[in-house]
Each structure stands twice: as structure tokens, then as C-alpha cells.
Amino acid sequence: MEHDHNVCLRCEESPTVSIGAYARQPPPEVARFEEVLTPAEVDPELEALRRADAAGDPHGATNLGVLLEQRGDLEGALAAYRRADRRGDVNGSFNLGCLLAERDDLAGAQAAFERADERGDGRAASNLGVLLQGNGEIDAALAAYRRGDQRGDPVAAFNLGLLLAREGDRDGARAAYRRAAERDDPEVRDRALEALAELAPAETGAAQPADPEAAQPKRHPWVLAVCIIAVLAVLALLGVRRLRARR
């Protein structure tokens, strides 16, 4: 039986919630907002972050953007992420890309992910690959997935396997799926193992379908992990997989 492995950018609605490899990437101190702050304590923290941002601290700008986004001030969050991005903070670049993608600015998101990728972020490389593949830039998408995979990102490895399978490189796809399955992400591991199982007939010599097209990966929608469902038509691609970019 074929399985539907949907693939998506790994940006989340709440950038500070640690939900696997696809959550946004604020510095560790940001995650404590949800854990230790009471409503009465939020404003002093906000003012402290504003002061840090005003002093030119790139992490302060990213953290400020996270808190503003949590409060629904998306314009303020965008501005803060842009300042962090200009100061070279990879988390600011990544969060900027996620928020721009949610607002359907895919060109801006791609540019932000490119900067985060240049700064060495594996998850940004994977998200960049999703957008490049959506634009039909297959070679560039493969290169982006490979960079993410080399940096240890399970989603990038999985996306690489999906695209290699689509391009007919079944051996390369198997190797990528195995790497994805070996990494510390249960959801990606399960989907990678399913994808490997679907490639198993070629390994065991089992009879192949008479219709050559039936042996190819089925067409499935790419589903973005956040509020960009309207962009699905743009990102519809072939594949039997799941990326959850961001996943």
C-alpha cells in the first residue's frame, strides 16, 4: 500500500515552543518565556529585550521578535527579526524566513533562508530546498538538501531521499532515507522507514507493476507547517515523503 508522506516547511505557529527539529530556532533563553514568566513579569522582560535590541545585541533582537510574535505583533516581530538578520544572527534570519513564508512572501522567505543557510543552519537549508524545488530548481534544491543533510538535519536527509526517488536515483534515495531514520526525530524516522519499505521491492527482486508509471512515486501535496495553506498549489511536487520544515 502506498503511503502519503506530506512534506512541508518546518516553521511553527509558536517560535519558542520546542516541538522537534522543526521549531523555530531562538536561543535557549527564549524558551524559558513560556515556562517561568507570569503575566505580571512579561512587561519587564519585554523592556529588557527592547534595551538589548537598542544596544545592538542580535540575540536581543531575535528574542524580542519571538516575544512580539507570540503577542500577535507581527509587524513588530518582522522588524525585530530583520534587525537580528542584519546583525548576522542565524536564528533571526531563520525566524524571519518562517514569518515571511507565513505571510506568503516566498521570495523574501527564500532570501532569508539563503542567509541562514550561508550561516550554517541545516534547517534553513532544508526549507530553502523546499522553496527551490517548488520553483522547479531541482539541482539547486538537491544541493540545499545535501547541505542540510551534511549538517545532520533529519528533515533535509528525508527531503533529499524524496527528491532523489523522484529523479530515479533509488540507491541514493535509500541511503538518504537511512540517514534520516538514524537521526533523533521519531516522526521523520517513521516516515523514512515507510519510504524505505516502499522501495523494498526493487531490492528483493519482487515483481514490478506492468505499468511503468505505477512504479513511480505518486503525486502528493507539499503541506507547509504553518499558515500558508494558500501556497500549496505553488509548492505541489512529486514525492512519497514527509518533511515537516521546518519541517
pLDDT in tens, 40-77: 455 888 999 999 999 999 999 999 999 999 999 999 99
Report CA 194 to chain centroid distance, whole Å: 20
Amino acid letter, 165: A
| Predicted pLDDT at 236 | 29
214 or 127: which leads in pLDDT: 127
* C-alpha to C-alpha distance for 75 and 33, rounded to whole angstroms: 20
- Residue percentage of the chain with pLDDT more than 90: 62
Phi, psi of 84 (to 5 degrees): -65, -40
Checking if the pLDDT of 30 tops 50, the result is: no
3-state secondary structure of 222: strand
The answer to whether 128 and 107 are in contact (CB under 8 A) is no
Please give the Cα distance from 49 to 58 (Å, whole number): 11
Alpha carbon distance 229, 223 (integer Å): 7
Q: What is the CATH number of domain 20-238?
A: 1.25.40.10
pLDDT of residue 169: 96
C-alpha cell belonging to residue 57: 545585541
* pLDDT value at residue 43: 81
Stretch 172-186: mean pLDDT: 95
Indicate the pLDDT class of residue 9, thresholds 50, 70 and 90.
low
Q: What mean pLDDT is reported for the chain?
A: 75
The pLDDT of residue 35: 44
Residue 115: CB atoms within 10 A of its CB come to: 21
User: Where does the chain have alpha helices with state H?
Assistant: 28-36, 39-54, 58-70, 74-86, 90-102, 106-118, 122-134, 138-150, 154-166, 170-182, 186-204, 232-235
Instruction: Point out the least confidently predicted range of 35-39, 83-87, 144-148, 228-232.
Output: 228-232
